[in-house]
Amino acid sequence: MTQPADNETTTDIYRRQFLGKTAAAAGLALAPGMILTEVAHARPADSAASDKNRWGMLINTEKCGSGCTACVTACQTENGWGGEDNSEQHSNASQKAVWIRKVKLKDKQTGHVQSLPLMCQHCENPPCVDVCPTGASMKREDGVVLVDKHICIGCRYCMMACPYKARSFIHEQIQNQKVHAPRGKGTVESCTMCVHRIDEDGTPACVEACNADGHKAMYFGDLKDSNSEISKELAKNGGQQLRPDLALNTGVRYQGL
């Protein structure tokens, strides 16, 4: 088998073009007193995700609206699950894909009700990765836990291992997938933290929708950057893990539980 020979050269050209554009943009932005950190965030398309970042989310359950499902709808629209033409026809509701769901917590003694979105918690020590027999269940360098569907054999061990019930399995052929979110029969899937957006320096669809809706219950950012909004908020007001007893060090934290 022939390996791509001129890959490096051509990549170099792409990289050079990108760096050229970035430099030009930086030059324009560098008015006196401007801060350089914004520019430093963007990762060139040809450089790999690194462990210098760890992407995480913080959810304030007190701000989360009890009847609001903006985050779920946004995720469905963004990643193409749950719609009529890309959903399973023969599965019941508990079998269908769920990347993110709203959970209602009720304290039986006091009757206090809380509402929160629950999705893949992007653990530092993910049980789904531990049990995967093929290496399909994986954690990226920057802490995003994903399924490599190219090598997923659909055994569903990861679904059993996940304490958050965050993963689902596709039982039927589906059509009209989103280009950035391929999904198909016989593979497991879950929240990707909108990794295609992260790679383009964006924010996950659920967080964006929550902010746009005015709830502002969700933060997204780099847990390793002490200056990021999420880190500052965590340092100031703290954030709980779900099932901290499992010592998974989740990337998704909750306030107000």
Partner 1 sequence: MLSHKTIINTLVGVFLLLPVFAQANDLMPTVPKAKTNANPETLCVRDVSDMRKNHMEYIMHQRDKTMREGIRTKQDSLAECISCHVTKDDKGHFANFGDDKHFCSSCHNYTAVSVDCFDCHNDKPTAASKTGSTKK
Residues that bind partner 1 (CB under 8 A): 1-4, 6-7, 10-11, 14, 38, 41, 43, 45-49, 78, 138, 140-142, 146, 148-150, 173, 176-180, 182-187, 194-205, 207-208, 211, 220-222, 228-229
For the record, the structure tokens of 136 come out as 């399909």
Of the chain, the end-to-end C-alpha distance in Å amounts to 56
CB of 157 to partner 1, least distance (A): 20
Pick the closer one to partner 1 by CB: 26 or 246.
26
- Please state, in angstroms and rounded to a whole number, the distance separating the CA atoms of residues 17 and 14: 5
In the bound state with partner 1, the residue whose beta carbon lies nearer, of 247 and 253, is 253
Q: Closest distance between partner 1 and the C-beta of residue 220, in Å? A: 6
Q: How far is the CB of 206 from partner 1 (least distance, A)?
A: 10
Measured from the CB atom, the residue of 127 and 221 that comes closer to partner 1 is: 221
DSSP structure class, residue 233: H
- When the beta carbons of 71 and 194 are compared against partner 1, the nearer one is 194
Check if the beta carbon of residue 80 is closer than 8 Å to that of residue 176.
Answer: yes
CA-to-CA dists, residue 76 to 21, 56, 99, 252, angstroms: 34, 20, 8, 19
In whole angstroms, the minimum distance from the beta carbon of 13 to partner 1 comes to 9
Minimum CB separation from partner 1 for residue 244, in Å?
25
* Sequence-ordered alpha helix ranges (H) in the chain: 7-29, 37-41, 70-79, 127-131, 157-161, 195-198, 205-212, 229-237
CB 71 within 8 A of CB 211: no
Q: Of 2 and 94, which has the nearer Cβ to partner 1?
A: 2
Q: List residues bridging with 154 in a β-sheet.
A: none
